[in-house]
Amino acid sequence: MEENMGKNLSSGAEKTEKLARGGKSAQPKQAKKTAAKGSKHTTKRAQPRTQKAEQAAAKERVEEAKARVKKQEARRLKRAQLKEKKLEKRAALKQKKLEKRARAMERRAQLKEKKLEKRARRRERRAELKAQRIARREMLAHESKAEKQKRIAREKRQKHALRAQKRSAQEKAHLAKMQARREAQERRAQERRHKREQRTQRKQHARGFGGWLAAVISLGTAALVLSTVVTAGAIRMREMDKELASGYRASLYELASLSEELDDNLSKLRVSSGVEEQRKLVTDALVDAELMEGALERLPVEEGTGASINAFVNRTGEYCRTLLARLATGKGLTTTQKNTIVYLHGVNEQLSSALNDAATHASSGQLRAFLAGKEGELSARFREMAEGTLTAPQDTVDAPFTGEGNVGENKLAALKEVSLTRAEELVKQYLSAYHVREVRQKGETVSRSVAAYNFTAIDENGGEWYVQITKNGGKLLFLDGYQPCSQQNFDLEACDKIAQDFLNSLGIQDMVPVWKTERGATADLTYVFEQDGVRVYADMVRLRVCEERGKVVGMDAVQHLLNHGARTLSPTLTKAEAKARLDGALQVEASHLALIPAGGEEVLCYEFLCGMNGEEFVVYLDAKTGEEVQVYRVRESARGSYLS
């Protein structure tokens, strides 16, 4: 290794010395070759270039440079465009992701909101159910035995009605299904007959024994299929008729039961005086009427008969709604409304009796005939029911504002109570003109507003009188005689004089007659207190005078004793201003100022007796506002004049 290194160093040194001495050229062999090549090339271009050629070459070089620059610019522009597209695509993807994320967040927010709303509704429903349970527990805790029985009966009726509705819907669905099945069977049978007819027509060209035999076989097959279909249909129809009959009988039982319940509620409503009890009875009657309407719709009653009964049931329901609206304000029922209830009860009583008779005694044959629309005993009964519902209502009163009761402070409550012995003496005193020889005590009557001793008085002729004397003050409250009156020896004017003399003997002064009518040989007269020309209808006394003997045979002074007293009266409108508010078709025959009871209060009104087309009306307009307060129509009948 060392020998080789020594050799290399010596050879290098030798080359350096040669160069220093100026000997051979120190250029390497490659440089020499290049120089020799250059000298040869120079020799070939001995001719120098012209200036024009140089300019062309320069221009060519410039164009090439421009082309290169243009290509470079195009490449840079393309790269920039590609980069921009990538950036736009990336931004679009990013925006889509953001929008998707926003939509997802919005959906989550909506779902969360819906969940919160649903949860809130559940909480409200739970709170409502809890409140209902608490209210029901409180109601049950304070519920009397009678109220419990009514509630249970009402709940049973509601459940029964729901079951009946469900059963009716099932029956209708079953009928529709059976009808569709029969139609499908008939359609398939018709298609088969049509195909057989087509095959027969195609084979008519070969009428030999074989064709005849095929026709016989086809006909037999068709008859067999048709008989099978008819038999199956008849069986199903019998089953369906049996189910229908059962459902209709159940509806008839339900209708009879509901009519009985309605009869009970209306009957109690006739004698009820408490607003709360009246409200309960009217509510029950309304429920019964609505359920009766549904049960009646499920019966195959002919159109005219069903319409009449349904119209009565609808009228009853609508009137119950009207009464509920009045009772909701805390006001009791008026005499006119009580008379309407009496009418409804009378009609429904006949309807209930007929329904029970039909439901109890109708045989299967009568029911089948009724379902088939044939004339029979059951259809005749339903026609009688329909005719009974057409009875005219008796929503009438014998005089304006009768039976309104106490409208303010109870004047009797402030009077001193009298003993039974003193009350017996007062009977003889009040009936001194009747020559009473015996007085019998018949117990006491205690109502919400008045308490009275009851007596039976016997006059010198053996005539019997029922008398009531108030405990407070010892006033004659009620008088009723049982003597017949058949001859008219005294006219209305004479009876009016007899009645006013009787009132004066009792110390009842300043009374004016507002209503006079006759019932056979008995005059009915109504008097009210008059103060400064104003008729005070709450201070009313009603009297009956026998036209044969010329004696007072009946008296009702309840309203007068409860309400009588002085009032402060000041109308705002004049009579002419109030008259201008009347309908232009009415012709005023007489007018007065009147203080009338309305809704438990007294309202100062102008009373106008009017005529129109042969009819008479009594109209009351508020003396302060001119608004219409009450309208009566005067009617005539065999029992005398009355108001409706």
The reply to whether 601 and 509 lie within a common domain is no
227: part of which helix (H) or strand (E)? helix 209-271
Whether residue 58 lies inside any domain: the answer is no
The reply to whether 323 and 236 lie within a common domain is yes
The reply to whether 137 and 157 lie within a common domain is no
The reply to whether 620 and 492 lie within a common domain is no
- Helix-then-strand count for the chain, H and E: 14, 13
Mean pLDDT score, 460-479: 91
pLDDT-wise least confident of 424-438, 491-505, 529-543, 596-610: 596-610
pLDDT of residue 392: 45
CA–CA separation, 605 vs 627, rounded Å?
9
Of 532, 567, 602, the one marking the end of a domain is: 567
**Residue 588 bridge partners (DSSP):** 610
SS3 sequence of 89-130: HHHHHHHHHHHHHHHHHHHHHHHHHHHHHHHHHHHHHHHHHH
The reply to whether 346 and 430 lie within a common domain is no
| DSSP H helices in 272-334 | 275-297, 303-327
Report the percent of the chain where pLDDT is more than 70: 70
Whether residue 431 lies inside any domain: the answer is yes
- Best CA proximity match to 556, nearest among 545, 546, 567, 542: 542
CA–CA separation, 538 vs 259, rounded Å?
38
> Which residues are CB-neighbours of 309 under 8 A, at least 6 positions away?
296, 301, 351, 382, 385, 386, 389
Specify the DSSP class assigned to residue 475. Answer: -
The reply to whether 216 and 328 lie within a common domain is yes
CA atoms within 13 A on the CB side of 302: 18
pLDDT of residue 395: 44
- Best CA proximity match to 139, nearest among 159, 123, 122, 154: 154
The reply to whether 165 and 313 lie within a common domain is yes
Of 142, 158, 175, the one marking the end of a domain is: 142
pLDDT tens digits along 185-222: 778 878 877 887 777 776 655 454 445 445 545 555 55
pLDDT of residue 14: 55
CA-to-CA dists, residue 573 to 19, 134, 256, 590, angstroms: 153, 53, 55, 17
**Residue 590 bridge partners (DSSP):** 609
Range with the largest mean pLDDT of 24-28, 248-252, 584-588: 584-588
- Best CA proximity match to 286, nearest among 259, 321, 254, 328: 321
Mean pLDDT score, 142-164: 71
- Return the beta strands (E) in 408-489 as ranges: 436-446, 451-459, 464-470, 476-481
The reply to whether 503 and 370 lie within a common domain is no
pLDDT tens digits along 475-528: 999 998 877 788 889 998 999 999 999 999 999 999 999 888 888 788 889 999
Mean pLDDT score, 156-180: 72
Specify the DSSP class assigned to residue 398. Answer: S
Q: Give Cα 136 to chain centroid, integer Å.
A: 23
Range with the largest mean pLDDT of 157-171, 410-424, 478-492: 410-424
- Best CA proximity match to 248, nearest among 374, 370, 87, 409: 370
* SS3 (DSSP) at 462: coil
Specify the DSSP class assigned to residue 397. Answer: B
Of 535, 567, 599, the one marking the end of a domain is: 567
pLDDT tens digits along 24-62: 444 444 444 444 444 444 444 444 558 888 888 888 888
Whether residue 23 lies inside any domain: the answer is no
pLDDT of 388 above 60: no
8 A C-beta contact, residue 397 and residue 335: yes
8 A C-beta contact, residue 630 and residue 595: no
- Best CA proximity match to 632, nearest among 348, 399, 290, 283: 399
pLDDT of residue 394: 46
Please report, as a single letter, which amino acid is at residue 432: S
CATH number, domain at 644? 3.10.450.40
Of residues 9 and 600, the one with the higher pLDDT is 600
Q: List the domain range (segments joined by +) for residue 621.
A: 568-644
Whether residue 504 lies inside any domain: the answer is yes
Specify the DSSP class assigned to residue 486. Answer: -
Domain count across the chain: 4
CA–CA separation, 496 vs 482, rounded Å?
21
pLDDT-wise least confident of 165-179, 319-333, 341-355: 165-179
CA atoms within 13 A on the CB side of 203: 16
Whether residue 52 lies inside any domain: the answer is no
pLDDT tens digits along 70-83: 888 889 889 989 99
pLDDT of residue 212: 47
What's the sign of the alpha-carbon dihedral 239, 241, 242, 246?
positive
CA–CA separation, 129 vs 121, rounded Å?
12
pLDDT of residue 56: 87
DSSP string covering 524-552, please?
EEEEEEEETTEEEEEEEEEEEEETTTTEE
Number of neighbouring beta carbons within 10 Å of residue 92:
10
Q: 368: buried, middle or exposed (CB in 10 Å: 19+, 13-18, 0-12)?
A: middle
The reply to whether 485 and 422 lie within a common domain is yes
490: part of which helix (H) or strand (E)? none
Structure tokens at 485: 């009156």
8 A C-beta contact, residue 602 and residue 571: no
Whether residue 211 lies inside any domain: the answer is yes
CA torsion angle 79 82 83 87 (round to 10): 170
SS3 sequence of 140-172: HHCCCHHHHHHHHHHHHHHHHHHHHHHHHHHHH
Q: What is the largest CA-CA distance in the chain?
A: 198
What is the Rg, in whole angstroms, of the alpha carbon atoms belonging to the chain?
56
CA–CA separation, 62 vs 545, rounded Å?
147
Please report, as a single letter, which amino acid is at residue 123: R
The reply to whether 413 and 343 lie within a common domain is no
CATH number, domain at 542? 3.30.310
- Best CA proximity match to 172, nearest among 243, 253, 252: 243
Whether residue 440 lies inside any domain: the answer is yes
CA–CA separation, 222 vs 196, rounded Å?
9
The reply to whether 176 and 119 lie within a common domain is no
Number of neighbouring beta carbons within 10 Å of residue 430:
21
**Residue 598 bridge partners (DSSP):** 601
The reply to whether 506 and 625 lie within a common domain is no
> Which residues are CB-neighbours of 272 under 8 A, at least 6 positions away?
278, 281
Structure tokens at 324: 């509920």
pLDDT of residue 35: 47
8 A C-beta contact, residue 511 and residue 540: no
What's the sign of the alpha-carbon dihedral 420, 425, 426, 428?
positive
pLDDT of residue 173: 76
8 A C-beta contact, residue 185 and residue 233: yes
Whether residue 628 lies inside any domain: the answer is yes
